[in-house]
Structures are given as structure tokens and as C-alpha cells.
Amino acid sequence: MATSDDDAILRFAVVGTGMMGVEHIRNLKLRPDVQVVALCDPVQKSLEKAMSVLGEHASRPDCFSDVASLLAARNSGLKVDAVVVASPNHTHREVLEPLLGTGLHILCEKPLATTLDDARWTADAANVKPRGVFWVGMEYRYMPPVAEFIARVKSGAIGELRMVAIREHRFPFLPKVGDWNRFSRNTGGTMVEKCCHFFDLMRLIVGAEPVRIFCSGAMDVNHWEERYGGETPDIIDNSYTIVDFANGVRGMLDLCMFAEGSQNEQEIAAVGDRAKLEVLIPEGDIVFSPRVGFAAKRVEREHVEIDQKILRAGYHCGATYFQHGALIGAIRGRNTTEVTANDGLMAVAMGLAAERSAREKRAIELDTSSASR
């Protein structure tokens, strides 16, 4: 159900006002055709932080402790067009159940869910009428240098794609409210929580479905001395993952979460039969290396500029702002949904397969119904 361009203002509610919810709020504030009319979070301090970020943004939004109260207010006259779901991973199905089928447009942050059953349920429920746009928050697609990199690979700049390699060398997981992100039962595991971004990018770049995943990973450095209710965290902090795709392309993910000193947090490379293309984040450079012979290297480097105001609004190289633009375009009927519930389901399926592979120390086969076996 698209919203007409004649509707000058889109009214958003944000469910979950922690770190990622606040990033959405900061970016929504940059858009003159958007108003944040409601905030929803059971933690009062999180609501207060979100309110301080909004500042003088239009009128003061209504605040709610749960989605049932938000929907009751909507039924009583509160005008809401769209909802951003940025609550902890393990709450997504609980939050989405009352929202789906209401006709509201929904952006659900990654990962779509923490279990395959919940991800499948959500993908099915997202198609129940009346429905609005259902969009999964895969921000990494929308980093301007990454978006340009993907467009060039798709245009044939490197010839026939044969290999995709993604490296993320970064800092450990940050503390979050209630320390929920220290345990795989809440996050789905690192390969779901963090790496669903990269599995989504692989599928998008390769243009085929995964058929086999092998992951070697463990918690080797971070979190060993942390205790929460007497429990030690159980989240992977480094891994190598190999993905075989149905069209013969191979993908590789190199993750290290104790490499804060890296010059670039993400490096993505695609290699075809004619050239190699790389993108470096946050540096913002795209590097093109054609096959011109061993003694005749010719490397071309180009920088992708991003408005500083957009960069300051979040932690994803401007991606949240541009993702909102695409989402709003879909809501207004100007473009289609670019990150579907099925995309979210597949990213979860790949992440769970990688988690299982790391535990069982074997390759996991994936079938076309997105289930690992």
C-alpha cells in the first residue's frame, strides 16, 4: 500500500530507542518530509536519550513502553504511517506480530530474527494483507562507496564474477542496555547479529543463492573476563567463512573483532576474469585493478565523497540516510522494496548455518527453502 506524494509528511514511530534506534532518529531528522511522532521502549533512560536527540524536532513525540500501547493510541487517532523496529534481536517477532497486518510500513532492523522459524514466520507474515512496505535494515548496501562498488560489478566492469572476499577487522561489540548482545541466545550469534550484513552483500553481489557454508570461528580474545549473572558470554569474536553459491561463485568472509587499529574497518573485493575491484570503508576509495599482465600493473583509485552532515548522523558511513531515502521512495510508490523479508530470511539462514558450522566443525548444506540441514 503506497503512500501518495500528496501526503506531504510521513509520520514515523521508532520502536527500540537504543544505539541503532537513535541512529535512525538522527537520520530521519535530516529529512524535511518526515516527522517522528512516537517513540517506544520499555527502558525510560533510552526514551529520554532519544527525546534529547530529537530536540526541537517538530512537535514532542508520544512515548510508549510497548507496541500494544502505541497501536492503541493509533486506533484512537494518533497518525502513524511507518514504524522502525530497532529493538533487541530476540524481540523482533514479539514486536512485529501486532504490527504486521495493520497496513503500517515497517523497517525492521537486521537480523530479521534470531531463529530460522521466526525468520520464516516473519517472511510469510510480511505478505499478509493489508500490508505496507516491509523493509529489512541492511545498511551496508547503502554506504555510498559500497553502492557504487556493487553497481560497477553488476555493470560488468570486472568481467564474469568468480570470487567475492569481505574483510571486517574492527572493535569488539559495544555494551548495550541489559547486556543482551553478550549471549547468542539473544543475538542469534555473531554470524547472525554482525555478519548477516555481509551474507546479504554476498547474495546481492553474486546474484545467486548459497548452497554450502563452512565457518571456522571461536571466542578467542574478547569477553572472557566478563560476567553477567554469573555467565560468561558465548559470542564468536573471529572467524573465516567460505560460501559456495549455486552459480559457482565463491565468497569468503574474514572477521576479527579485536582489530581496532585497522586502517579500514571493511574491505570488499570482487574478482572477475578481467579485473579486480575493491572498496575500502571508511576510507571511501574504490580501487580498480585490470588484468594487464604481471609487469604492466595499472591500478586506478577513486574516492567517493559523502556529505559530512550525513556522516555525522550515524555510524554506517552515511548508509542509514540513503536507506531511508530508498524506503521513502518505496512508500511513496516511486521504487520497489529493495531489501525484502526474504532477503532478511536468507541472511539469517546463512548466519545460522555459519554458527552451526563453527560449532560442529563441518560444512553445512543449504537448500532452496533457506533451511540448513
In the predicted model, is pLDDT for residue 6 greater than 80?
no
Strands of the sheet containing 250-256, edge to edge, are 300-303, 285-290, 275-281, 266-272, 161-169, 250-256, 238-245, 210-218, 364-365
pLDDT at res. 371: 52
Question: Comparing C-alpha atoms, which of 72, 126, 82, 120 is closest to residue 100?
Answer: 126
Share of the chain above pLDDT 90, in %: 91
How confident is the model over 34-87, as pLDDT tens digits? 999 999 999 999 999 999 999 865 568 999 999 999 999 999 999 999 999 999
Give yes or no for a contact between 340 and 346, defined as CB atoms under 8 angstroms apart. no
User: What average pLDDT score do residues 147-174 get?
Assistant: 98
pLDDT at res. 8: 86
pLDDT at res. 296: 86
Q: pLDDT grade, residue 240 (50/70/90)?
A: very high
- 3-class state of residue 239 by DSSP: strand
pLDDT at res. 53: 92
pTM beyond cutoff 0.85: yes
Query: What are the E-state strand segments in the chain?
Result: 10-15, 34-40, 62-64, 82-85, 105-109, 134-137, 161-169, 210-218, 238-245, 250-256, 266-272, 275-281, 285-290, 300-303, 364-365
In the predicted model, is pLDDT for residue 3 greater than 70?
no
Share of the chain above pLDDT 70, in %: 95
Angle separating helix axes 341-360 and 196-206, nearest 10 degrees: 120
pLDDT at res. 156: 98
Rounded to an integer, what distance in angstroms lies between the CA atom of residue 354 and that of residue 207? Answer: 20
How confident is the model over 317-357, as pLDDT tens digits? 999 999 999 999 999 999 999 999 999 999 999 999 999 99
User: What average pLDDT score do residues 199-222 get?
Assistant: 98
In the predicted model, is pLDDT for residue 373 greater than 70?
no
Q: pLDDT grade, residue 7 (50/70/90)?
A: low
Ordered domains of the chain (ranges, CATH)? 10-138 (3.40.50.720), 141-316+338-365 (3.30.360.10)
pLDDT at res. 57: 57
User: What average pLDDT score do residues 163-185 get?
Assistant: 96
